[in-house]
Chains A and B, each alone.
Chain A
Amino acid sequence: EVQLVESGGDLVQPGRSLRLSCTVSGLNFGDNAMSWVRQAPGKGLEWVGFIRSRSYGGTVEYAASVKDRFTISRDDSKNIVYLQMNSLKSEDTAVYYCTRRDANNYDRFDYWGQGTLVTVSS
């Protein structure tokens, strides 16, 4: 069974940093691209970014709203993908979901974690 478990969500002040983790089991993590999607309270879904697998260079792509503030990385030895969030703003308040990006099937996001809540407030 494939499982994605996010952790690290918290209440944080504006301007501070936070790192989220997503631990993956049940699939060959190193062969997969991983993505982050967020959802502000009562709002729709917003793609944050993704990281390609090592075989595709491990390169990353970001939404404009988080570029230069957020960094996605991965540790293939631990099956974990990270989202480092710096210079947090109130508008970053959201549930953050980790997803698998299936590059072999229309880049679908087929597996999702349960989400972790980040609240940015003073």
Chain B
Amino acid sequence: DIQMTQSPSSLSASVGDRVTITCRASQDITTYLNWYHQKPGKAPKLLIYGTSSLQTGVPSRFSGSGSGTHFTLTISSLQPEDFAIYYCLQSYSIPITFGQGTRLDIK
């Protein structure tokens, strides 16, 4: 199974900050990496798919990069609605696996 490891596990930041979350795969997943965020009591929401493609309707302050085993999600200027838990997911091979999550809190 491919293990997905996110860092940091938690992060405090302020509105307007630039934030980067990292996801590492235990083996090569090419670009089959998706990012989600989840707010309390809500379903996860897809932000980025295929490493760097922005899901329709997602603000352009979100961007993704990487390939192989190392991936990043960047939020260029945090907005109040961005405080949530962020998950990466690899869809390269079965079993599909999520990262453990990164909690992004308001500083």
- Tell whether A115 pairs with B43 under 8 Å between CB atoms, given A44-B98, A105-B50, A106-B34: yes
Q: Mark A88-122, 1 if CB is under 8 A from B, else 0.
A: 00000000010000000111111011110000000
B49 within 8 A of A: yes
Q: Mark A61-77, 1 if CB is under 8 A from B, else 0.
A: 10110000000000000
Interface of B is mostly: loop
**Residue from B1, B44, B87, B91 in contact with A106 in the complex, judged by beta carbons closer than 8 Å:** B91
- For B43, the chain A residues whose CB sits under 8 A away are 97, 112-115
A45 within 8 A of B: yes
Residue of B nearest to A101 (CB): B91
By CB atoms of chain B within 10 A, which of A61, A64, A106, A115 has the most?
Answer: A106
Query: Could you tell me how many residues of chain A have their Cβ less than 8 Å away from some Cβ of chain B?
Result: 21
- Tell whether A106 pairs with B50 under 8 Å between CB atoms, given A44-B87, A114-B43: yes
B46 touches A107 (CB 8 A): no
Query: Could you tell me how many residues of chain B have their Cβ less than 8 Å away from some Cβ of chain A?
Result: 25
Residue of A nearest to B42 (CB): A114
Query: Which residues of B are interface residues toward A (Cβ below 8 A)?
Result: 1, 31-32, 34, 36, 38, 43-46, 49-50, 53, 55, 87, 89, 91, 94-101
Query: Which residues of A are interface residues toward B (Cβ below 8 A)?
Result: 35, 37, 44-47, 50, 61, 63-64, 97, 105-110, 112-115
